[in-house]
Structure 1
Amino acid sequence: MNIISYLHPIRTYVPCTGAGRHINNTLLGLASQQNINLELLFSHQWLQADGKLDPRSPLRDIPLNTFPLPENLTERLWKLTQFPKMDKYLPANTDWLFTPMETYIPVSRCPVAVTIYDIQAFETDLPWSNTRQHRWFRYKWSQWIYKALANYRVIFTISEFSKRRMIELLGADENKIVIVGCGVEQQFYDIASINPVELERPVNNPYTFVIGGLRLRKGADFVLDVAKGLLNANSDIQIVVAGDSEPEYVAAAKDLPNLKLLGLVADSDLPRLMRCASSLLFLSHYEGFGIPAIEAMATGTPSVVSNRASLPEVVGTAGIVVEPEDTTTIVDTLIQLQENSQLREDYSRRGQEHAKYYTWSRCVDLVQKAFYEYI
């Protein structure tokens, strides 16, 4: 089977977001299959002097095709006018055009599959749903997503929650939507066998780990409340935060001695930071999946997640689901996970067993299966 994958190369540069990791692992997995010939398609602007992608992209050794027009201009034309048609940039024997990210590409030569991670743009009850910025975001998505849902043969997504919201909010055809989930890199499983006392820690105190930075979408207000609650409870638990934070929350964090901001960290450091933590604190308002919750489980660290969007579905009974506004309960939970070794070991064991289901090879198998079933 011959598959051409259109992508924005910059989204694949490591370190990258959860969506970027999904793109990289899916395409690398497909490229490794003996029955699949995978090639990339992207704007010529991304080529380096050696005729390949930037070294920061794990996909740089996959065969490629380019088109001469600038990426941004071309995509605007696709979404507004459905031109220029991209058929001339596809080899004659192309069986599928696959874009593992949210966009619209007009082609007629072959069927198209797209990955839509979530439809946050169309949610109306989030804290930021009525901001000018979000309304503009929703408008831009509305220019293309209905065409994609109507014209594309397969819509991949990563959770039952995201599938249900596409059906409820956009009227998507449920028979087109294929849930492929997410995976966890092997390094998260491997580090679970290492005693945390042998690893370098970011702080001397016990800590709960937050990934994604202090941002509104990631529940920064809730995290700050938990930090204050831990101080009021005279707990020695600190909150260690990895990721880019929004300026207003960085300023607020300076007044909290038990909150440490690491900023962006290398992907290779995440397993260690999770393994050394007494828990993962993931109080996000909205996730299409929520990979960090499963990554923490894979390392043997209990996951405490909000009862919002996909998170309860993803962690199941192996995680601890909380109301993010219930600071008292969250603080008590974090203290119990730190002080009650039996409770922590129970959730550690359940989490590790649960995480075994979430592998990138399973995701690739589901994508590949859909290509053969829907051709």
Structure 2
Amino acid sequence: MNIISYIHPIRTYLPCTGAGRHINNTLLGLNSRKSIDLELFCSKQWLQADGKLDPRSPLREIPLKTFPLQENLTERLWKLTQFPKMDGYVAVNTDWLFAPMETYIPVSRCPVAITIYDIQVFETDLPWSHTRQNRWSRYKWSQWIYQSLAKHQVIFTISEFSKQRMIELLGADERKIVVVGCGVEQPFNDIAAIDPTKLERPTEAPYALVIGGLRLKKGADFVIGAAKELLNHRSDLQIVVAGDSEAEYVAAAQELPNIKLLGIVPDRDLPRLLRCASSLLFLSYYEGFGIPAIEAMVVGTPVVASNRASLPEVVDTAGVIVNPENSASVADALIQLQENSQLRTAYIQRGYEHSAQYTWSNCVDRITTAFHTFA
């Protein structure tokens, strides 16, 4: 099978977001399959002096084809005018043009598959739904997403939640939306066998780990509330935060002795930080999937997650699902997982069993199956 994949190279640079990791791992997985001939496709602006992508991209060694125009200009033209057609860059024997990201590509020579991770810009009841920035993003997405849903043969997404929201909010055809899920990188599996007492810890006290920083979208208000409730319980449990935080929440955290902000940490440190934690605290308002929940389960760390968006689906009964607005119940769950060894062991075992289904290989299998089914 011959596949050409359109990408935004900058999204693949390490360290990257969850979407970037999905792009990297699915394309690396496709490239490793003997039955697939994969070629990347992007703007010439991303080429380095050696004719390859930046060394920060794990996709650097995959064969690459480019077009001469700037990426932003080209995509605006595609989305607003459905021009210029890209057929001249697609070989006659190409079976699929695959974009592991959100876009519209005008091609008639072969079928097109794109990936839409979530459609939070179209949600109406989130704290940021009616901000000027979100209204502008919704307007821009509206210029192309409906034609992508109508004209492209396959729409990949990462959870049943995201699929249903596309159907409910955008009127998408459920028959062409394929849920492929997400996976976990090998370092998380590797560290699961290491005794956490042998690893370097960010604090001597027991701690719950927050990944993604203290940000509104990641439920920072809920995390602050949980920290205050832990203080009321005189718990020695700390909350350690990995990731960039918004200024107002940095100020709030600095007033609480049980919150430790690590800032942005290298990807290589996340497995260790998770392995040493008594739990993962994941109180996001909105996630298209929520990879940290599965990563925590893989390393043997129980999960406390909010009952919002995709998280109940992804965590299922393998973690503790809470109403993030109820700080008392969040704090109680954290304390129980720290102090009740029997409960903790039960959730660790559930996590191991549940997370086993989430691999990048399974994700690639679902993608290739869809290519054969919809061809």
Question: Does structure 1 residue 227 correspond to structure 2 residue 235?
Answer: no
Distance, in Å, in 1 between the alignment partners of 2:37 and 2:358 is 25
Give per-residue Cα distances to partners, 1:322-342, cap 9 Å, x unaligned. 000010011111111111111
Question: Does structure 1 residue 277 correspond to structure 2 residue 277?
Answer: yes
Distance, in Å, in 1 between the alignment partners of 2:167 and 2:123 is 13
Distance, in Å, in 1 between the alignment partners of 2:250 and 2:109 is 50
Corresponding position of 1:293: 293
**One-letter amino acid of the structure 1 residue matched with residue 292 of structure 2:** P
Distance, in Å, in 2 between the alignment partners of 1:352 and 1:345 is 11
Residues 311-330 of structure 1 correspond to what in structure 2 (within 5 A)? 311-330=311-330
Give per-residue Cα distances to partners, 1:160-185, cap 9 Å, x unaligned. 10000000000000000001000011
Shift of 1:232: 1.4
**One-letter amino acid of the structure 2 residue matched with residue 95 of structure 1:** D
Corresponding position of 2:247: 247
Distance, in Å, in 1 between the alignment partners of 2:213 and 2:355 is 23
Corresponding position of 1:5: 5
Corresponding position of 1:53: 53
Corresponding position of 2:364: 364
Question: Does structure 1 residue 121 correspond to structure 2 residue 125?
Answer: no
Corresponding position of 1:108: 108
Under a length normalisation based on structure 1, what TM-score does the superposition of the two structures give?
A: 0.99
Distance, in Å, in 2 between the alignment partners of 1:127 and 1:27 is 34
Percent identity between matched residues is 76
**One-letter amino acid of the structure 1 residue matched with residue 236 of structure 2:** D
Shift of 1:241: 0.6
Shift of 1:233: 1.1
Distance, in Å, in 2 between the alignment partners of 1:88 and 1:61 is 23
Give per-residue Cα distances to partners, 1:124-154, cap 9 Å, x unaligned. 0001101111000100000000000000000
Corresponding position of 2:203: 203
**One-letter amino acid of the structure 1 residue matched with residue 226 of structure 2:** V
- Structure 1: gaps spanning 5 or more residues: none
Corresponding position of 1:68: 68
Under a length normalisation based on structure 2, what TM-score does the superposition of the two structures give?
A: 0.99
Q: CA RMSD, aligned part only?
A: 0.7
Distance, in Å, in 1 between the alignment partners of 2:216 and 2:69 is 36
- Structure 2: gaps spanning 5 or more residues: none
Shift of 1:90: 1.4
Shift of 1:193: 1.4
Distance, in Å, in 2 between the alignment partners of 1:317 and 1:225 is 24
**One-letter amino acid of the structure 2 residue matched with residue 268 of structure 1:** R
Distance, in Å, in 2 between the alignment partners of 1:137 and 1:83 is 22
Shift of 1:195: 1.0
4+ residue runs over 6 A deviation: none
Shift of 1:92: 2.1
Equivalenced residue count is 375
SS of the residue 1:51 aligns to? coil
